Amino acid sequence: MRSQFVLSEVWIGLRRNLTMTMALIVVVAISLSLLGTGFLFVKQVDRAQSYWEDKVEVAVFFCVKDSGITACQQNGPATSAQESAVEQRLQALPEVQSVTYIPQAANYQGFKDFYSGEPSFVNGISESEIPDSLAVKLKNPAADATIAESAIVGAPGVADVINEETILNSFYQLLDSARNAVAILAVILLIAATLLVANTIRLSAFNRRRETSIMRLVGASNFYIQLPFLTEGAIAGLIGWVIAAGLLVAVKSLLLNTLAQYFNFDIGLSTGDLIEVIVLSMLVSVLLCGVTSFVTLRRYLRI
């Protein structure tokens, strides 16, 4: 009998405040989906950083005959002695784990493979224009890349030094900025959802003030009086969470998985990562609607 009464009161409350309930569901769904998207971005950035952590290198390119570098034009192509000197200097650094020499022919083949979809561009570059190079693997790329780079910049025969850590840091900063923007927008919407939950519960309680007054007079406990209102908030929050879960599945399937197809390495998020974010969103939804409803009702019952 008590459960039937609670359910009937919940239905009455949802029906009387249908517009506000629908607005609450929409705001909760959008805010949770944005918050979940931020969590997915965090996981994606962490996965990418973990993947590249052991693969970051410092690339050293030597001068060739037709190089546009001023030092190369003045001193000519790099000699075998100059290349060996640079390689030995790098190997002597304690921060360097290994140094791999890549000859011109191998670099040219790699160039053709990378630009295989643009034959006109490949045909315009001859093998003589592609330099020999060194691939320098560091023990701690984040801390040691600058040291290795400064040790060989300007050395005879060296045309250019590329620190891959710097390139990746710029990419990570771009992802972090996108993630932070999504998180800020999600927080703003969560605040809006909190206010909307409070207003919805307050309006529902005001519309049923006569019923709650009678329940007080007959000795009903505060929890029993609050239960229909708490259930209303919980139902709206759960519906919003279900919609948000669907949106998060779409974000992973249509956005993140699609982007991952353009890369030749596996840094995509797993189904387990998605489930973890969805469960976390559900907890946020429960806390948002439950705590807000409880606090609002406690204040109402004291009036």
Q: Which tens digit of pLDDT belongs to each residue from 144-181?
A: 778 888 888 888 888 888 887 777 777 777 777 877 78
From CA 211, how far away is CA 225, in angstroms rounded?
A: 9
pLDDT at 250: 86
Query: Can you point out the beta strands (E) in the chain?
Result: 57-62, 96-102, 133-138, 158-163
Strands 57-62 and 133-138: antiparallel
What pLDDT digit, counting tens, does each position of 17-47 carry? 667 677 777 878 888 888 888 788 777 777 7
* 224-230-234 Cα angle (round to 5): 145
Same domain, 144 and 68: yes
Place of tokens 């109402």: 300
Q: Is the dihedral of CA 274, 276, 277, 283 positive or negative?
A: positive
From CA 132, how far away is CA 144, in angstroms rounded?
A: 23
Same domain, 148 and 173: no
Per the CB < 8 A criterion, the answer to whether 78 and 158 are in contact is yes
N-term to C-term CA, the chain: 28
Of 112, 145, 163, which closes a domain?
A: 163
Per the CB < 8 A criterion, the answer to whether 30 and 189 are in contact is yes
Same domain, 76 and 213: no
Percent of the chain with pLDDT over 70: 78
Same domain, 184 and 199: yes
Of 141, 163, 185, which closes a domain?
A: 163
Q: How many domains does the chain have?
A: 2
From CA 181, how far away is CA 250, in angstroms rounded?
A: 20
Closest CA to 137 of 203, 207, 60: 60
CATH number for 95: 3.30.70.3040
Same domain, 59 and 44: no
From CA 18, how far away is CA 36, in angstroms rounded?
A: 26
Closest CA to 171 of 251, 36, 39, 263: 263
Q: What's CA 135's distance to the chain center, in Å? A: 30
What pLDDT digit, counting tens, does each position of 110-151 carry? 888 877 778 887 788 888 888 888 888 888 877 777 888 888
* 18-22-28 Cα angle (round to 5): 145
Same domain, 174 and 43: yes
Same domain, 193 and 263: yes
- Average pLDDT for 250-262: 73
From CA 59, how far away is CA 37, in angstroms rounded?
A: 35
Same domain, 80 and 106: yes
Same domain, 9 and 81: no
Of 146, 163, 180, which closes a domain?
A: 163
CA distances from 150 to 144, 145, 163, 164, 216 (A): 10, 9, 10, 14, 79
Please give the residue that has the higher pLDDT: either 97 or 186: 97
Per the CB < 8 A criterion, the answer to whether 63 and 157 are in contact is yes
pLDDT at 259: 66
Same domain, 42 and 85: no
303: confidence class by pLDDT, cuts 50, 70, 90:
very low
Place of tokens 């400064």: 150
* Residues 245/248/252/253 CA torsion (nearest 10 deg): 60
The range of the structural domain enclosing residue 252 comes to: 2-52+169-301
Same domain, 146 and 231: no
Closest CA to 176 of 276, 50, 43, 284: 43
95: confidence class by pLDDT, cuts 50, 70, 90:
confident
Same domain, 180 and 292: yes
